[in-house]
Structure 1
Amino acid sequence: MRLILLLAALLLPSPALAWWEYGHYTVARIAEDSVRPATRAQIRRLIARSAALETPTCPIRTIEDASYWPDCVRKLRDRFSYSFPWHYQNVDVCKPFDQASACRDGNCVSAQIERNQKLLADKALPVRERLMALAFLAHFVGDLHMPLHAGDRGDKGGNDFAASYGVIAGRANLHSIWDGYLAERGISTPAAGARGILAALMPGERETMRGGTVTDWARESWEASRQYAYGTVMADPCGPKPDARPVIGEETVRALIPVIRTQIARGGLRLGRLLDDALS
């Protein structure tokens, strides 16, 4: 029975989570490892008061927990339903980059990164508000660096684009593959986690990655969505959808591992910069 349930979980991945837990944890760990000591101390002081959030089913004990909290509280439904549109922005990869149309009224991931950084920096706010801002900021920076949260082809970030990850088919789609299977494979190859990803960067790459604006990062991920998420399963990323369900096989996975690791590194280092700016 346990084996059947495990297979069912593999064949029916949930589209609700972004980078699943592992991707968010790794982005957050890179961020905390890269911030100034004073910033790290402030993060830990805030997290020590996480009971103020009154979300006992979604506790925050570490920055990794904080980075996953916005997905965890989805289970509380009406209490946090206002935040559901903040995890993504569906910018058409087959048209000129147009973030404004996807961010009306601030309901998109880029706008919420900027908003929550300001809230985190405001020491006049109650601890509860700043804790929520820390969690949302950590999560949304991770979300923005998952290409299918930054650009799509009008298919709900690839959720409506059926695809197979090797032999895993079922209800798998382009979004769930990038969200989970590819992220886990990329982060764990080689198996050294956040520190392994940072150690692989060339001298000077860290500072280069930390540069730019949130809009610059959104455009970069939008381009990655077209070039890699769609470009590896279609000859023309903006052409007709293939009749046959595309299969992302081992050769393609190996080619995409450096892309995944770069996106995770960018997310972590940029989150670290935003945290330094807000807290130091």
Structure 2
Amino acid sequence: MRFLVILAALIGFAAPANAYWEYGHQTVAAIAWRNVTPATRAKITQLLRHTDLLKTEGCPATNIEEASVWADCIKKLGNDWRYASVWHYQDADVCKPFDVTAECKDGNCVSAQIERDVKLLKDRKAPQVERVKALLFLVHFVGDIGQPLHGAEHDHDAGGNKAQVSYGIYTTDRLNLHSVWDGLLAERAITSGPNIVRTYSRADRAKLGGGTVQDWGKDSWELAKAVYADLNDGDACKPITGRVSITEPMIQKWVPEARTQVIKGGLRLARLLDEALG
């Protein structure tokens, strides 16, 4: 049923340019909620009681799952929030050594904003409205950085948004590589196998939620490079011409990778929230 809803959305609407669709973000947030400490949960709940300070009517954030999609919701509110649109991604070229220096100029990239939001949450003297905003952005951006097409691009394709694809037998002009990873593949990955929204062991949290924000960016970039190689007969830097077919073998290969990225996102977020609020 959820697949049909997502498929209907693809048919009826253009995919959001910089959004990990709701299901992916909400699952990352739900995993984080299950894995933070009780003290951190209490502080998250306390901050979410003050979302009215943001004056973003129509974009609720009364719980962590709603909070996870707030940063996408506010895009429809007009110019007041337009400045944040570039914070959802960092298009590092897969055909060059990993480097987001240019992408992150003046802090305008997803990794820089994650670090900024953590600092604001740690600062108990910061204005309440800024800490609430930091929480909502952080919950969203940690999901974004785990989606490989939010962290890389090929031949200036804007993180796969300009790379037209077909997904199995499904083809539409609105479908691109980015939207496949944001929606259709994420849905299949999350719903394949045992429920990933659960409490993880200390060892799993250390293994999957460890590393720095820069490590996470490189992790996504490396996965994106492998994705482009799969599409290009093993050559990630080969030009893509026309519509590329995402075959069932590709999907079968990518599903566990996408599933792992969602789990990593949840455990990374849990760790950052505990460090900032616990």
What's the TM-score once normalised by structure 1's chain length? 0.91
1:74 deviates by 0.3
Contact 2:92 2:221 in 1 (8 A): yes
**Structure 1 position 174 matched with structure 2 position 177:** yes
Q: Secondary structure at the match of 1:164?
A: strand
2:238 aligns with 239
With over 3 angstroms needed to count, the CA separation of the structure-2 counterparts of 1:141 and 1:8, relative to structure 1, is closer
Q: Residue 122 of structure 1: CA displacement?
A: 1.3
Inter-partner Cα distance in structure 2 for 1:95 and 1:252 = 24
Structure-2 change in CA distance of 1:239 and 1:17 (3 Å): closer
Matched-pair contact (CA < 8 Å) for 1:47–1:131: yes
How far apart, CA to CA, are the structure 2 residues paired with 1:177 and 1:144? 16
Instruction: Give, in whole Å, the separation in 1 of the partners of 2:50 and 2:86.
Output: 27
Q: Is the 8 A contact 1:165 1:248 kept in 2?
A: yes
For 2:157, the equivalent position in structure 1 comes to 155
3-state secondary structure, aligned to 1:116? helix
Unpaired runs of 5+ residues, structure 1, are none
After superposing on structure 2, the runs of 4+ consecutive aligned residues of structure 1 that deviate more than 4 Å are 5-8
Shift of 1:212: 1.2
The equivalent of 1:264 in structure 2 is 262
2:18–2:150 CA contact under 8 A, matched in 1: no
* Whole-angstrom CA distance in 2 between matches of 1:77 and 1:168: 33
Residue 10 of structure 1 is matched in structure 2 by: 10
Contact 1:18 1:146 in 2 (8 A): no
Which residue is 2:247 aligned to? 249
**1:66-215 pair list within 5 angstroms:** 66-153=67-154, 154-170=156-172, 171-190=174-193, 192-195=195-198, 204-215=203-214
Maintained 8 Å contact 1:25/1:65 = yes
Query: Match of 2:93, SS?
Result: coil
Offset of residue 193 of structure 1: 4.7
User: In the aligned structure 2, how far is the partner of 1:69 from the partner of 1:116?
Assistant: 15
Q: CA contact under 8 A between 1:13 and 1:176: conserved in structure 2?
A: no
Deviation at 1:6, TM superposition (A): 8.9
2:118–2:272 contact (8 Å) kept in structure 1? yes
Pairing of 1:16-27 with structure 2 (within 5 A): 16-27=17-28
Cα-to-partner distance string for 1:208-250 (whole Å, 9 max, x where unaligned): 122211111111110001012x122211111121x45222233
**Cα separation, 1, equivalents of 2:120 and 2:210:** 21
Shift in Å, 1:192: 2.4
Question: Is residue 215 of structure 2 the alignment partner of residue 216 of structure 1?
Answer: yes
Tell me the CA shift for residue 52 of structure 1: 1.9
Inter-partner Cα distance in structure 1 for 2:193 and 2:6: 25
Question: Could you tell me which amino acid in structure 2 is paired with residue 165 of structure 1?
Answer: Y
Query: Which whole-Å CA distance do the structure 2 matches of 1:255 and 1:62 have between them?
Result: 34
User: 1:191 Cα shift?
Assistant: 6.1
Please give the alpha-carbon distance, in whole angstroms, between the structure 1 residues aligned to 2:6 and 2:151.
30
Q: Which residue of 1 aligns with 2:226?
A: 227
Name the % identity. Answer: 50
Q: CA deviation at 1:7?
A: 6.9
The alignment covers a number of residue pairs equal to 270
Shift of 1:138: 0.6
Secondary structure, in 3 states, of the residue corresponding to 2:15? Answer: coil
Structure 1 pair 132/237, CA: closer, same or farther in 2 (3 Å)?
A: same
What is the deviation of 1:190?
Answer: 2.5
Shift of 1:251: 2.7
Deviations 1:49-91 (A, max 9, x none): 2222221200111101111000000001201011010000010
Query: The residue matched to 2:231 in structure 1 has which SS?
Result: coil
> Aligned partners of 1:251, 1:120: CA distance in 2, in Å?
43
* Letter in structure 1 aligned against 2:213: V
